[in-house]
């Protein structure tokens, strides 16, 4: 059901939202910063894994139940990069495609007080997003929701080899676009990324900082 929901979100945002919003657009009062148009963005992305200790152990051990003595996991965040291409279809709304690459989110697993292994996840996530802006001036906070697909390459020191999985994904969050000029904006974003299907235990918090150029 959640896989179907992700597909419906992505298709609806790309196909239905733009014409509806464009029909309601009254450009006579919009500011230079809230004008319609195509934009591109590029920046850094930080992924903070939110998998709990039991989930990390089960994935590292191919689904085996965690022993009672496991006490903790320490999470090393991953620094990657992201990009987006979108269209401001209304001074209060935009649609976009966002791609995010995180090379290594690590879960250091401890059995009692001793290290038991490391679970490493490399992820590429692509979503179609709808962004809503309550303001159209130089400083523009926004809310974001999207859906798409993610790829994960999972390896662990507890066994040989690894596994590659695909799954649908939902993204929700918000941020601020701060326009330095009419065309260039500094963008910050925090979003919760929720993979589904075989990757449903690999959800993470995404923090992004980058620059956008609006044509």
Q: Locate the domains of the chain by residue range.
A: 2-19+37-214
E-strand ranges in the chain read 37-49, 70-76, 78-90, 93-111, 114-132, 139-156, 162-179, 184-195, 204-214
Q: What is the pTM of this model?
A: 0.78
Quick one: which of 125, 134, 126, 131 has its CA closest to 145?
131
Q: What is the pLDDT of residues 148-200, one digit of tens each?
A: 999 988 887 665 555 778 889 999 999 999 999 999 999 999 999 998 877 77
Q: What tens-digit pLDDT sequence spans the chain (215 residues)? A: 445 444 444 544 444 444 444 444 444 445 789 899 999 999 999 999 887 666 766 666 655 666 655 556 777 889 999 999 999 999 999 999 999 999 988 877 777 677 777 778 899 999 999 999 999 999 999 999 999 999 988 887 665 555 778 889 999 999 999 999 999 999 999 999 998 877 777 889 999 999 999 99
CB 100 within 8 A of CB 82: yes
CB 197 within 8 A of CB 170: no
In CATH terms, the fold of domain 2-19+37-214 is: Porin (2.40.160)
């Amino acid at each position: 059901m959640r896989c179907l929901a992700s597909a419906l979100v992505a298709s609806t945002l790309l196909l239905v939202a733009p014409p509806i919003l464009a029909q309601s657009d009254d450009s006579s009062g919009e500011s230079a910063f809230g004008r319609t148009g195509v934009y591109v963005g590029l920046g850094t992305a930080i992924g903070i894994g939110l998998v709990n200790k039991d989930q990390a152990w089960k994935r590292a051990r191919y689904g085996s139940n965690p022993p009672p003595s496991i006490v903790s996991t320490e999470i090393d965040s991953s620094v990657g990069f992201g990009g987006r291409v979108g269209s401001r279809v209304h001074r209060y709304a935009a649609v976009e495609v966002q791609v995010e690459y995180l090379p290594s989110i690590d879960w250091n697993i401890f059995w009692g007080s001793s290290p038991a292994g490391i679970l490493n996840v490399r992820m590429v996530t692509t979503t179609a997003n709808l962004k809503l802006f309550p303001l159209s001036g130089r400083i523009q906070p926004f809310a974001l929701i999207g859906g798409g697909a993610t790829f994960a390459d999972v390896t662990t020191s507890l066994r040989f080899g690894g596994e590659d999985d695909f799954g649908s994904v939902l993204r929700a969050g918000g941020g601020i676009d701060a326009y330095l000029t009419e065309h260039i904006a500094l963008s910050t974003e925090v979003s919760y990324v929720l993979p589904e299907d075989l990757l449903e235990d690999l959800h993470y918090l995404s923090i992004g900082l980058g620059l956008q150029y609006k044509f």
